[in-house]
Amino acid sequence: MYKILKKEMLTPTICRMEVEAPRLAAAALPGQFLIVRADEKGERIPLTISDFDAKRGTVTIVTQQIGASSADIIAFEPGEAFADVVGPLGLPSEFVEMDPEQLGRMRYIFIAGGVGTAPVYPQAKWLHERGVAVDVIIGAKTKDLLIYKEEMAAVCDNLFICTDDGSEGFHGMVTALLEKLVADGRSYTQAVAIGPMIMMKFTTLTAKKLGLPITVSLNTLMVDGTGMCGACRVSVGGKTRFACVEGPEFDGYLVDFDEAMRRQGQYKAEEAEANEKHVCKIGRGK
């Protein structure tokens, strides 16, 4: 069993949990994900690893309540335990295997959208600990939906906040802020975008216009996390790839985002039906 040690609601619908999982924590690397099964009959829910601590034997997950299964996960309280937590899964971020000398010459800009801010954190942290230059943009619709501001500020050189409504930081989209930073003279060798699919699509188009290489994370496409279900199929460079076993990170220039967004919406009817029938029987719903 995988005990929840800490729980914090970052927003009314986004929950952060620290979970006891020693073997997983010892093996995890930035960019990877895990799968949570709330109980023996629960759905397999892929979640990006938002942090890991090998000494404490813990991993951190951030869950946004969208459907019935995510609601069940969020309902757990400290002291309770998930039936299963499996991982680490997927390939780690490319920079993990990069030559230290080459890595030292890099300057990264991370563009984090909404709950996608959580998986950006371990990547920025890993690079910052090794002295690599890291800037981060955190974007959200409004200031009340911003997460990880203090944590991110501690693991990057410069943190830029961006809200669609202008309630905090730059008023506008993350793409406009990225263009502004480059126009103001900031130079980057690599961009990484993690967030809603539509945000990653337009961030990629902006990066291409700026001549900036960009990596995107397709973790939102996953279902079973092993490549067997085929739900994570995506066209990358004209070839079919499986995000859960060959990703989740890919060259943004090569991703067919329109196809990916169509695939992402294929279970919306089933999710809506499950939400209507859902009665939480876990945690505080007992």
Whether residue 213 sits in one domain with residue 101:
yes
Return the exposure string of 18-39: e unless at least 16 CB atoms fall within 10 Å of the residue's CB, then b: bbbbeebbeebbbbbbbbbbbe
Query: Are 54 and 148 members of one domain?
Result: no
**Model pLDDT, residue 221:** 63
Task: Concatenate the DSSP letters of all residues of 77-96 into one string.
Answer: -BTBEESEEEEEESPPPGGG
**In this predicted model, what pLDDT tens digit does every residue of 206-249 receive, in sequence order?**
999 999 999 999 876 666 666 667 677 889 999 998 888 888 99
Inform me whether the pLDDT recorded for 277 exceeds 60. no
Q: How crowded is the C-beta side of 29, counted as CA atoms within 13 Å?
A: 10
Residue 194 lies in a domain: yes
Let me know how long the chain is: 286
201 and 108 within one domain? yes
Q: Looking at 20-24, 72-76, 96-100, 222-226, which range is the least confident one?
A: 222-226
Report the CATH number that the domain containing residue 72 is assigned in CATH.
2.40.30.10
Q: Are residues 208 and 250 in the same domain?
A: no
**201 and 248 co-located in one domain:** no
Residue 281 is assigned to a structural domain of this protein: no
Question: What is the extent of the structural domain holding 100?
Answer: 94-217
Same domain membership, residue 153 and residue 188: yes
Q: Is 226 found in the same domain as 210?
A: no
Q: What is the CATH number for 124?
A: 3.40.50.80
20 touches 2 (CB < 8 A): yes
Domain count, the chain: 3
Q: Is residue 114 part of a domain?
A: yes
Tens digit of pLDDT for each residue in 107-157? 999 999 999 999 999 999 999 999 999 999 999 999 999 999 999 999 999
Percent of the chain with pLDDT over 70: 88
Q: Tokens in use for 114? A: 């909404």
Q: What percent of the chain clears pLDDT 90, i.e. is strictly above it?
A: 74
Same domain for 202 and 138, yes or no, is: yes
Q: Is residue 280 part of a domain?
A: no
Q: What is the pLDDT of residues 51-93, one digit of tens each?
A: 999 999 999 999 998 888 889 999 999 999 999 999 999 999 9
- Domain end among 217, 247, 264: 217
Same domain? 226 vs 261: yes
Lowest mean pLDDT among 15-19, 168-172, 280-284: 280-284
* 272 vs 259, residue with greater confidence: 259
